[in-house]
A and B are shown apart, each in its own frame.
Chain A
Amino acid sequence: SQQGEEDPQALSIQEGENATMNCSYKTSINNLQWYRQNSGRGLVHLILIRSNEREKHSGRLRVTLDTSKKSSSLLITASRAADTASYFCATVKSGSARQLTFGSGTQLTVLP
C-alpha cells in the first residue's frame, strides 16, 4: 500500500477561504514534500519539510509535520481559483532506498 494517504480525497471551497489538506504516512522519513498537479499534467514541487522541522511557510502555504503522529498538513490561505488542482504529499523514507513515495492526493476545487 502507499506510504502516504491524503485526507480529504476531495475538497471544494469558495475563493478567499483557507484550504487544509492532511497526509498520513507509515514509516520513518527523512523529509516530506508537497506537490501540486494540474489536470493531465506533471507534478510541481511546492514545499519540503525535514523530519526535524515542525512548521514551514512559503507564501500562502503553511506546512506542519508531526513525526510522532506520522502526519502532515498543508494549509493554503486566501485560496484562488487558480489553486484548483490535485495536491500530493510525498515522503523520502529513512534508510538507503531514498525513493520518493506519493500518497493518493486531495483534489481541491476553488470556486470563484
Chain B
Amino acid sequence: EADIYQTPRYLVIGTGKKITLECSQTMGHDKMYWYQQDPGMELHLIHYSYGVNSTEKGDLSSESTVSRIRTEHFPLTLESARPSHTSQYLCASSRKHALDTEAFFGQGTRLTVV
C-alpha cells in the first residue's frame, strides 16, 4: 500500500465555489504531481513539484493552482469551480534524484461541479 492520501474521495459542489483538494504523502518524496483524468481516458499532467516552494504547470492547461509549503503536502485549489472542472484528480509522488523510480498514486478525488 502506498502512503499517499487524497481527500475527499468524492466531492459534489455548486458552480462558483472555491475548493481545495488535499494530497499528503508520508514517504518523504520530493516529487509530487497532480493529474486530471476523465472516466476511461488518459491522464493529463496539470501540476508538478520537485520540492518545497517549487511548483510548475504541466502539459494540460488548468485553472487550478497548487502550493508546496511542506514536503508532505501538495494541495490543489480551484478558486471558482465550473462544470467543466468535473473530473477525477489523481495525486502522485516519487523520489527526486533517481531516474528509475516509480510513482505512487493516491486513490483519487472524483469532483462533480453542478
Contact = CB atoms under 8 A, between A and B. Distances in A.
Contacts of A88: 42-43
Given A99-B58, A100-B33, A48 B108 contact: no
A98 B58 CA distance: 12
A45 B108 contact: no
A80 interface: no
A105 B99 contact: no
A11 to B, nearest CB: 14
Interface in A1-45: 2, 30-31, 33, 35, 40-45
A42 B58 contact: no
A40 B110 contact: yes
Interface of A: 2, 30-31, 33, 35, 40-45, 48, 50, 86, 88, 90, 92, 98-105, 107
20 contacts: A30-B99, A30-B100, A31-B100, A35-B103, A35-B105, A42-B2, A43-B90, A45-B104, A88-B42, A90-B103, A98-B99, A99-B58, A100-B45, A100-B92, A101-B59, A102-B43, A103-B42, A104-B42, A105-B42, A107-B40
